Amino acid sequence: MPSLLNDLSDIVSAAFTELGLPAELGRVGVSQRAELGQFQCNGAMPAAKQAGKNPREIAEQVVAKLAGHPMLAKVSIAGPGFINLDLSDKALAERIAAVAADERLGVPAKDKEMVVVDYGGPNVAKAMHVGHLRAALIGESLKRLMRFSGDEVVGDVHLGDWGLPMGQLIAELELQHPDWPYFAEGNGPFPAESPVSIEDLEVLYPQASGRSKEDPEFLEKARRATAALQAGRPGYRALWQHFFDVSVARLKQDYGALGVTFDWWQGEAAVNDLIAPMVDELKAKGLAEESDGALVVPVAEEGDKKEMPPLILYKSDGAVMYGTTDLATIVDRQAKVKPNAIIYVVDQRQGLHFEQVFRAARKADLSPGTLYEHAGFGTVNGTDGKPFKTRAGGVMKLGDLIRMATEAAAARIEEAGLAKDLPEAERADTARQVGLAAVKFADLSNWRATNYIFDLDRFVRFEGKTGPYLQYMGVRIKSLLRKAADQQALPGALMEPAAAEERDLVLHMLRLSDAMERAYERRGPNEIADWAYELAAAFSRFYAACHILSESDGARRASWLTLSATVLKQLELVLDLLGIEIPERM
C-alpha cells in the first residue's frame, strides 16, 4: 500500500506540473494547524519566488486544478498561500478498509538490504549497567523495525571480551591461586569445569581493577597477561574460555528476561585470527605506520574540526586495542554476510572511536560499499540529574532493575484496582510485563541521543505518555472485542466515519507508514513510540464519543468493531517493534 502522504503529494505535484511549476513543491505534509485542514502544502511560496509572482495567486491556481478531485473534500488557502486539504470521507473509508485487510496494516515493505545491527556490547565478567540497557533496548527495537521494513537483519551482541580486563582477571587469579594449572607454561591439561562462577567474577573484577589503580606493578602484569592471552598462551586461553562461558550463560538469562535476542554471540576475541592478515593488508596498502613502538593507522583528514588521533592497531607490548578488534570484525562481517550497512548502537560518547574505525575501514576498503553508522545514544540520569546509580551508589545491575520495575508495576496495578480477579501467577506475569513496558517505553520514546531521567514512579503510571498506558489501552480493546463476541456482535464492513473523533482516529491510523518510515530513516524508535501514544489517545476519544456495544445500528456497530480490531493490530505491531507485550487482561 502506498502511503497517504505520498499519494496526496502525487496529486498536488501533478497540479504544480500542469502549471509549469516544479513537481517537488507539491509535497504534502500533515497540517500544523488541524483547525484549518488535515493536510497542507507550502509549495506556493517558493514557487512564487521562482516565478516572480504572488504566492496567493499561485495557490489559487493550484486550488482550481485540485477542485473536484474525488479524494479531496475541501481545498482552501490560508495566510500568504498555504494550501490546506481535507480528505473526503469516502476516501478515508476506502483507505482504512485497505489497511484493515492488509497483512502489513498499511505499511509498505522497502527493498531488502542486508544489515548488521551491533548492539548490547556488554563486557565479559563486568556487570551490565544502564548504558548497556539502552543499547539493548534501542538495538533490539531497530533490529525489529528494520526486519519488519523488509531488511534481512543480523543482531550481533559484540561482547567486550579481549581487552585489559581479561588480563586483569588473569593476573588477579594468579595472585590468589598461584597453584592453579592455568598459570604454568605449557599445554595443560586444564579442567573442563570453570573454577570461577559468574558471582566470583563479579567480585574479582572490581578487586583486580582496584588493584591496578593502586599498584603499577600489578597493572604491568595485567598488561603482559593481556598480550600473552591474545598471543595464545594455552593456560590463559583455557581460563579465558571459562570467563566467557559463565558470562555468556548469565547474559543470555539477563537478555532473555528483557526479551532481547541476538543472532550472533560474537565477541572481540572471535576475530583474533583475522587481525594478523588484516594488519598485513593494511601495511601492504601503505596505511599502517610505526609510532613510538606502536603500529597505527593515521585517519586525520584535511578540514577536520577536532583532533583525530590515529587508530592504534598494536600497542608497543603487542596487545591489540578496541579499534583493532572493531576493524577485524568488519572484515569478518564482510566475509560472512556482505552487509549493505552496519549500525552500531553504542553510547554517543564513543563517537570518536567509531569515526576512527569507519575512516580506517573505508581507507582500507575492508568492506566495499558498506555504510557504517554510529547510532549513538545519550545518558540515563538519576532524578538528581547525575548518571544513574543505585541507592548504594554503585552501578545498577540489570536483574535488580527488572525486579524494581516489576515491584513498582505491581504496586501501581494494585493501587489502580486492576488485575484483581486474575489468578496469582497471571497477576505476577502482568506486573512483569507492565514493569518492562514502563522501562522500555520510557527509554524508546525519547530521541535516542537525548539524555533522560530514570524516574520509575513516573514510568509505571497508567496515565500520560507511558508504556503501561498503551498496554492498558490494548487491554481495553481486547476486552471490548471479547464482550462484543459474547453478545454475538461481529465485526463487519468499514463505513465512512460518523463522528469527528472517528475521523481523527482513522486519519491517524493512515499515518502509520509515515511514522514507520521516519523511524527507519532516523534510526529512531521514538517516531513510532510517539505515533502509538497518539493512536491510543485518539482511540480513547473515539471510544468515549462512540458507544460501540450499545449502538443500535448493526452495520455501524460492525464497522466500529472492525475499526477497533484494526487499532489493536496496529498497536500490537508497533509495541512489538518496541519490545512491549500487551497482557490479555488486567
Q: Which residues bind ligand ARG (CB under 6 A)?
A: 118, 121, 123, 158, 160, 326, 344, 346
268/368 Cα distance (integer angstroms) = 22
Cβ proximity to ligand ARG: between 131 and 497 the closer is 131
Cβ proximity to ligand ARG: between 115 and 431 the closer is 115
Cβ proximity to ligand ARG: between 106 and 160 the closer is 160
Helix (H, G, I), strand (E, B) or coil at 245: helix
3-state secondary structure 367-392: CCCCEEEECCECCEECCCCCECCCCC
Cβ proximity to ligand ARG: between 159 and 279 the closer is 159
With CA atoms as reference, report the closest residue to 515 among 505, 500, 525, 506.
525
Length of the chain: 586
* Sign of CA pseudo-dihedral 396, 400, 402, 406: negative
Cβ proximity to ligand ARG: between 15 and 117 the closer is 117
Cβ proximity to ligand ARG: between 346 and 401 the closer is 346
CB of 268 to ligand ARG, least distance (A): 8
Beta-sheet pairing, 82-87 with 39-41? antiparallel
CB of 163 to ligand ARG, least distance (A): 8
State the burial class of residue 87 (Cβ atoms within 10 Å of its Cβ: 0-12, 13-18, 19+): buried
CB of 261 to ligand ARG, least distance (A): 17
CB of 170 to ligand ARG, least distance (A): 19
With CA atoms as reference, report the closest residue to 479 among 583, 556, 576.
583
Structure-block grid coordinates of residue 399: 536483574
Cβ proximity to ligand ARG: between 101 and 371 the closer is 371
Taking CB atoms, the residue at the shortest distance from ligand ARG is 121
Cβ proximity to ligand ARG: between 326 and 501 the closer is 326
Question: Based on C-alpha coordinates, what's the Rg of the chain?
Answer: 29
With CA atoms as reference, report the closest residue to 87 among 45, 34, 46.
34
User: Under a CB-based contact definition with an 8 Å cutoff, are residues 219 and 210 in contact?
Assistant: no
Cβ proximity to ligand ARG: between 121 and 235 the closer is 121
With CA atoms as reference, report the closest residue to 235 among 320, 175, 174.
174
Structure-block grid coordinates of residue 494: 468499514
CB of 244 to ligand ARG, least distance (A): 14
Helix (H, G, I), strand (E, B) or coil at 39: strand
224/206 Cα distance (integer angstroms) = 19
101/95 Cα distance (integer angstroms) = 10
CB of 296 to ligand ARG, least distance (A): 18
Cβ proximity to ligand ARG: between 126 and 233 the closer is 126
CB of 253 to ligand ARG, least distance (A): 19
User: Under a CB-based contact definition with an 8 Å cutoff, are residues 194 and 182 in contact?
Assistant: no
Q: What are phi and psi of 253, to 5 degrees?
A: -65, -50
Cβ proximity to ligand ARG: between 401 and 582 the closer is 401
CB of 46 to ligand ARG, least distance (A): 43
CB of 294 to ligand ARG, least distance (A): 20
Helix (H, G, I), strand (E, B) or coil at 42: coil
Please name the helix (run of DSSP H) or strand (run of DSSP E) that holds residue 8, with its range, or none. Answer: helix 4-18
Cβ proximity to ligand ARG: between 37 and 139 the closer is 139
Residue type, 472: Y
CB of 122 to ligand ARG, least distance (A): 7
Cβ proximity to ligand ARG: between 150 and 399 the closer is 399
With CA atoms as reference, report the closest residue to 578 among 543, 518, 526, 535.
526
DSSP letters, 426-480, are HHHHHHHHHHHHHHHHHHHTS-TTS-EE--HHHHT-SSSSSHHHHHHHHHHHHHH
User: Under a CB-based contact definition with an 8 Å cutoff, are residues 81 and 87 in contact?
Assistant: no
| Lookup result for grid cell 555468556 | 248
CB of 332 to ligand ARG, least distance (A): 11
Structure-block grid coordinates of residue 133: 540497557
CB of 259 to ligand ARG, least distance (A): 20
For 50, residues 6+ apart whose C-beta sits below 8 A from its C-beta are: 21, 22
Cβ proximity to ligand ARG: between 118 and 517 the closer is 118
CB of 299 to ligand ARG, least distance (A): 16
User: Under a CB-based contact definition with an 8 Å cutoff, are residues 130 and 382 in contact?
Assistant: no
CB of 127 to ligand ARG, least distance (A): 11
Helix axes 500-509, 89-101, angle to 10 degrees: 50
